[in-house]
A = this chain, B = another copy of it.
Amino acid sequence: MKNEDWTELFDGTRALPRDVRDRLLKSAHLVTAKEGKSIFSPDHIPDKLLFLINGVIRVSQTSENGREIVLYRVEAGQSCVLTTACILAEEAYNAEGVAETDIKAISLPRSEFDRLVAEMPAFRKFVFSAYSRRLIDLLRVVDDVAFGHIDVRLAERLIALCGGGNDIAVTHQKLAVELGTAREVISRQLVEFQKRGWLELSRGKITLNDKASLRKLSNN
């Protein structure tokens, strides 16, 4: 991307008056990160608000005994509010954001963030909207983990990850992290799906043969 007007890309900034947007173009700056880079973690909480232009940030949580669960993903056009939330709260938490792809984002200083929230109703709405989005994402995770069945959740996730195509490049361990369970549980379930002819397994790759059945199991 050329050095274009990124304020055009976000709901929260597109609606702002021209002079404010020009101010933003000066005060904020572009940051990039390679795939796999940690964007925030308990050790490293940035004091900026991130607006994601390109790529995906995967936010996950790791337990004491090392198991991990994916909470949600921040996609292009969205902002990463968990960090700003957690600057205020001084309680311990163990969520981490990792660049799932190479990413490009706008980094907005806290002072400017505060000022925008104060002065611009459109921006305020965007921020609150982002918060509620994440709250609801988490409600969904709680529901899934507490009450969901592993076969349904796995089918759901496979459909979500294939993205139009039929192949998914993913290890059983990665899928286990998606759902917050153990690798063996995923392997078992995948073999079961394979027996039903719904998919083919190979090292590091899953080929979906019968998306309809998977979709049916996952109720979408």
Contact = CB atoms under 8 A, between A and B. Distances in A.
Given A94-B143, A142-B61, A146-B145, A135 B67 contact: no
B138 A138 contact: yes
B114 A121 contact: yes
Interface stretch (A78-86, A158-166, A209-217): A78-86
A88 B129 contact: yes
A132 B134 CA distance: 11
30 contacts: A61-B142, A61-B143, A63-B146, A69-B142, A71-B142, A85-B131, A85-B132, A86-B132, A88-B128, A88-B132, A89-B129, A89-B133, A89-B136, A93-B136, A94-B139, A94-B143, A114-B124, A117-B117, A118-B118, A118-B119, A118-B124, A134-B135, A135-B135, A135-B138, A138-B142, A142-B180, A145-B145, A145-B146, A146-B180, A147-B180
